[in-house]
Amino acid sequence: MECVFCRILKGELPKHEVAGRERCVAFLDINPATRGHTLVVPKRHVERLSELSEDEAAEVLRLAGEVAEACVSRLGAAGVNFWINQGKVAGQVVPHLHLHVVPRYAEGEIRVEMHQKQAEQGELERVAQELRKGLE
Ligand code: 5GP
Ligand code: ZN
């Protein structure tokens, strides 16, 4: 079965478009967390952030910032969350990379619970070392 966002981008399924750019499109999420919840979607089907070209990544991020400004100026948002779910375990349901732009109007509308705890210095250094190897 074809990806739902590819079908939307081809015009096979409807969308409420907010803006279109050369390499990406912004349209409203069909199940908005708040009024104006928008998805910024690269036109090329990729699943992960690292698969975007520099030009695509720049355009997606730029458009997300512009949508956020419109949420503030036109919808009266007081702040905005930007987020990407990557991988099933992280909550990615549609396997076509997308950046959520979620305007915020009041505190407590959405709760993202991270349960952070202080870590030991040794553990932090082991993790940093491991990641540095992956980024060489
Ligand atoms: P994910 O959990 O993959 O980060 O988010 C997928 C998002 O896509 C969800 O917030 C969901 O509401 C939205 N979505 C799923 N199907 C459609 C659709 O057909 N049209 C639109 N506009 N949004 C969709
Ligand atoms: Zn797709």
- Note if 98 is an active site residue: yes
Complete DSSP assignment for 58-122: HHHHHHHHHHHHHHHHHH--SEEEEE---SGGGT--SSS--EEEEEE-STTSS----------HH
Which amino acids bring their CB within 6 angstroms of ligand 1? 4, 8, 13, 15, 27-31, 85, 91-94
For residue 88, report the distance from its CA to the centre of ligand 2, in Å: 16
pLDDT in tens, the chain (136 residues): 799 999 999 999 999 999 999 999 999 999 999 999 999 999 999 999 999 999 999 999 999 999 999 999 999 999 999 999 999 999 999 999 999 999 999 998 998 899 999 999 999 999 999 999 999 9
- What is the CATH architecture assignment of 4-111? 2-Layer Sandwich (3.30)
For residue 65, report the distance from its CA to the centre of ligand 2, in Å: 22
Closest atom of ligand 1 to CA, residue 91: 2
> Can you give the residue ranges of every domain in the chain?
4-111
